[in-house]
Amino acid sequence: MTARHEPIIERCQALFEDLNFENARAWKAAVPGRRVIAFMPIYVPREIIHAAGMLPLGIFGGGDQLEVIQGDAYFQSYICRIPRSTIELVLTGRLDFVDGMLFPSICDVIRNLSGMLQLIRRDMYVRYFDVPQNYQASIGGEYYIHELQELREGLERLRGAPITDEALRHSIALFNTNRDLINEFYALRQAQPWNVPAVEAYLVSRAGMMLPVEEHNQMLRDYMDAVRDADRPRRDNCRIVLSGMFCEQPPLNLIKSIEMSGCYVVNDDFMLVNRWMTAPVPVAGDPISNLALHFLNYSVKTSATYEANEEDKGKYLVEAVRGSGAEGVIFAAASFCDPALLERPMLQDALNAANIPFIAFKYAENSGQMQPIREQAGTFADSIKLWGETA
Amino acid sequence: MSTASSNAATEARDAIKDLSMLKQKEMIQNNYDELARVGETGKKVVYTFIPGNINELVRCFDVVGNYPEINALQNGLRKKSGNFIMEAERTGHSEDVCTYVKTDIGMARRGNIGPTGQHLPEPDLLLLSYTGCFTFMKWFELLRHEYKCPTVMLHVPYQGEGRVTTNMRNYIVKQLRETVIPELERVSGVKFDIDRLREYLRESAKAEDDLVWVLQSAKNRPSPIDGFFGAMYYVGPIFSAFRGTKDATEYYRLLRAEIAERVAQGKGPVTPDGDMGPEKYRLVTEGTLNYTHMREFWKMFYDEGAVCVASTYTKVGGVYDFGFRHDPEHPLESLADYCLGVYTNLNLPQRVDMIERYINEYQADGLLINSIKSCNSFSAGQLLLMREIEQRTGKPAAFVETDLVDPRYFSAANVKNRLESYFQMIDQKRRAA
Ligand code: SF4
Ligand code: SF4
């Protein structure tokens, strides 16, 4: 008998593998006038895109299935892979149906990629989406309200009609539901990691980058119903948090390898856009100020943002470990990833202070060799078990 | 003219040249001395960056500025950076990240002895003016982690759409008013005086006029300056601790006189080996310098008669040649516009436009990119930029790869080969024309 979760995972896998974005194309073709706005990691207010009647489509690189030919001619060898596979997607026409693209302020590479797209796709709405690094409402808040308003106006021009406050409120409510469900999903995985294997967790979460939010909400419900209390094989794995994979994505095999080598992944920073707000955005009142002020006060912490207080540096990771009952951290960063690699020594200090073990390695989205990673993770898992028993 | 009087004229000219160089040396040394003496003077120490620094404002609080990027490059010039980088890597910093950061961290770990051999005091404040590069943000988080000192941020939004909006300007001015100035007042104990700021800004504008004149003198044939290697020395004072000071104004006045003299005599640039020979190639450069092998690198140009007539690197601490000047009538707004306008804060299409303009206005033979492993802010997108320039100008472009201060990434043979083929390419183009 097919387990109930299997068709869901098959669908997610198909979405994940489809580098032609057929699902988004079909969504767009279904109703005349529909538009698709692509976005890159790490965070954009998808609520505004949705309220414009458009599909926010997450572009998270080309993975290990895309052969990058032209993209390599655009980047030096010492730059990470995600921009080159993204350029490949653009140059091979795989994103020709996309009406706009947003480049969040995550690092200099994505920032400069926004300018490259302006030069390569002059027909497209391209926006570098700057968020404030000053978190005071009267300073960063005001600035951000204007930025969001500019984004809103840009999409209104594209659409040829205003985006109403009512539509924004409706979208905020839908994304609040999505975040609630994602939180529930992460909680379920923490409670029963054997029922929510890391690769499935990844794929279900990643599907949210490609589906309309309404569909993703249903998918999350269905998946959780299917696996909750399912009695899937349970292994004697240790529990770890993965940190550093917030932009360029690891190959699925890498995630599998970590689990196979004895580590249950109980928290991670994949696709932070799904969980960016740590509390529901208020629906009543002015939607743009709600989004802006909430961003200031309830954003997740990550390497790509500024931590205003030294005492809080790395606290989020320690809390992620404590909160998920994890026993260690695996730092996995994309090679040449400035935010992840510059941040790492500070995070490691915070873990050391909290007596939390960790290991670190680098990957690329097209890494093929898993053996060294399997060995490293396996040794780590063994040492945690040993250390846990003797402690 | 008699021999005696022409000798006297040469001496006088040398004296002018020496004066500007001596002046700069003295200014730099004074700043390091001031840093070394804070134990006695009780002055507070503020660390800050170059691109988009707000030096005029900092000066209003009688603090001493320390510039980690300048220390790193000075350590590179003195061949000290390699060991510092390795020290940082030994203590957990990735080989993939910016070597300026690692030079700085390595130096701190080894007792914070600055490039002049003098001890550098710990910061009383890290002024993180965060312009055009995300690494800055992490760099000061790392320093704060090391020193556990107060940090104040000035976030400068990027010109993603190729323009400055009122919202961006207001955001910066507000940060200056509500966070940066109060924090500088608190740390220094000095009350902010806007008239004092205006005075510094007035001085800045004077120096900026003279600097622009000097940089644009490269439009002459032959160019009296090298606008990349040589100009890095010229921009030193205005990019760092001295913009807004009478010393800087005086330095640029002397420098301008010296260059004017060279123009009058139809002379080319001065190089470390003396006057350059006949000018054969005029290049625009994009990207930063290499400091560990600066002399060797430069020699590969002047030996071939290649002069850099304009560069983008000399605009990271301010783009003045298209008209911007600090404005005492609008002090805070003008600081905001300055930060927003530095080269590293321009988007890629703006950078392409600027380079195209340089190639045309300076009648250059082509574009040379020095791509730097450390610096994604500069490097990401340079290959597309190169194609765009070739298409738009019909002039050849070339690409070499080095690093700022990591000696492991300077391969003299590779760079030389590339440059030689590039010069041949220019020759061919000329013949074809
Ligand atoms: S992987 Fe890291 S460096 Fe590369 S684009 Fe993403 S955040 Fe930037
Ligand atoms: S990445 Fe580039 S701009 Fe940023 S600190 Fe390093 S050298 Fe400077």
Ligand 1 close to Cβ of residue A339 (< 6 A): yes
Centre of ligand 2 from the C-alpha of residue B404, in Å: 9
Task: Please identify, by atom number, the ligand 1 atom nearest to the C-alpha of residue A106.
Answer: 7
Which residue in the set B134, B377, B388 is minimally distant from A339, CB to CB? Answer: B134
Ligand 2 close to Cβ of residue B67 (< 6 A): no
Residues of B in contact with A74 (CB under 8 A): 381, 383-384
Report the alpha-carbon distance of residue B397 to residue A150 in Å, rounded: 37
Which residue in the set A74, A303, A336 is minimally distant from B383, CB to CB? Answer: A74
Q: Tell me the residues of chain B between 139 and 178 that have a Cβ less than 8 Å away from chain A.
A: 139, 141-142, 144-145, 148, 151, 153, 155, 157-158, 160-162, 165, 167-168, 170-171, 174-175, 178
Token pair belonging to B77: 């010039």
Q: Which ligand is nearest to the CA of B291?
A: 2
pLDDT, position B131 = 87
Token pair belonging to B216: 């644009």
Ligand 2 atom 3, closest CA: B133
DSSP B314-378: GGTT---TTS----TTSHHHHHHHHHHHSGGGS-HHHHHHHHHHHHHHTT-SEEEEEEETT-HHH
Residues of A in contact with B151 (CB under 8 A): 308, 310
Partner-chain contact A130 B157, CB within 8 Å:
yes
Task: Please identify, by atom number, the ligand 2 atom nearest to the C-alpha of residue B98.
Answer: 6
Ligand 1 close to Cβ of residue A269 (< 6 A): no
pLDDT, position B18 = 65
Tell me what percent of chain B is helix, strand and coil, each rounded to the nearest 5. Answer: 55, 10, 30
Partner-chain contact B148 A348, CB within 8 Å:
no
Give the distance from residue B162's alpha carbon to the nearest chain A alpha carbon, in angstroms: 9
B77 at A interface, C-beta within 8 A: no
- The CATH number linked to A21 is 3.40.50.11890
Nearest 5 degrees, angle CA B374-CA B75-CA B39?
120
Determine the angle formed by the axes of helices B246-264 and B229-239, rounding to 10 degrees: 160
Phi first, then psi, for residue B151 (nearest 5°) are: -135, 135
pLDDT, position B148 = 95
Residues of B in contact with A72 (CB under 8 A): none
Centre of ligand 1 from the C-alpha of residue A110, in Å: 7
Q: Tell me the average pLDDT of chain A.
A: 96
Ligand 1 close to Cβ of residue A273 (< 6 A): no
Token pair belonging to A140: 């960063």
Q: Where in chain B are the domains? A: 3-193
Task: Please identify, by atom number, the ligand 1 atom nearest to the C-alpha of residue A108.
Answer: 8
pLDDT, position B2 = 41
pLDDT, position A92 = 97
Ligand 2 close to Cβ of residue B342 (< 6 A): no
Ligand 2 close to Cβ of residue B340 (< 6 A): no
Phi first, then psi, for residue A307 (nearest 5°) are: -100, 115
CATH topology of domain B3-193: Rossmann fold (3.40.50)
pLDDT, position A2 = 75
Ligand 1 close to Cβ of residue A42 (< 6 A): no
B371 at A interface, C-beta within 8 A: yes
ipTM for the assembly = 0.96
Q: How many domains does chain A have?
A: 1
Give the distance from residue A127's alpha carbon to the nearest chain B alpha carbon, in angstroms: 7
B21: helix, coil or strand?
helix
Residues of B in contact with A108 (CB under 8 A): 133-135, 376-377, 380
Which residue shows structure tokens 């990470």? A80
Residue from A249, A302, A338 to probe ligand 1 pocket by mutation (most atoms less than 8 Å from CB):
A338
Encode chain A (391 residues) as per-residue pLDDT tens digits. 678 999 999 999 999 999 999 999 999 999 999 999 999 999 999 999 999 999 999 999 999 999 999 999 999 999 999 999 999 999 999 999 999 999 999 999 999 999 999 999 998 999 999 999 999 999 999 999 999 999 999 999 999 999 999 999 999 999 999 999 999 999 999 999 999 999 999 999 999 999 999 999 999 999 999 999 888 999 999 999 999 999 999 999 999 999 999 999 999 999 999 999 999 999 999 999 999 999 999 999 999 999 999 999 999 999 999 999 999 999 999 999 999 999 999 999 999 999 999 999 999 999 998 999 999 999 999 999 887 643 3
* Residue B180: closest C-alpha in chain A: A134
Report which residue type is found at A357.
P
* Residue range(s) defining the domain that contains residue A51: 14-167
Give the global pTM.
0.96
Please, which residues bridge with residue A299 across strands? A277
Which parts of chain B sit beneath pLDDT 70? Answer: 1-18
Please, which residues bridge with residue A263 across strands? A238
Residues of B in contact with A136 (CB under 8 A): 178-179
B431 at A interface, C-beta within 8 A: no
Q: Which ligand is nearest to the CA of A334?
A: 1
Give the distance from residue A112's alpha carbon to the nearest chain B alpha carbon, in angstroms: 6
Report the alpha-carbon distance of residue B135 to residue B263 in Å, rounded: 40
CA distances from B182 to B55, B141, B178, B187 (A): 16, 20, 6, 9
8 A C-beta contact, residue B325 and residue B112: no
CA distances from B278 to B224, B268, B286, B372 (A): 11, 8, 23, 29
Residue B341: closest CA among B312, B373, B316, B313:
B316
> Is residue A122 a part of any domain in this protein?
yes
Task: Please identify, by atom number, the ligand 2 atom nearest to the C-alpha of residue A338.
Answer: 1
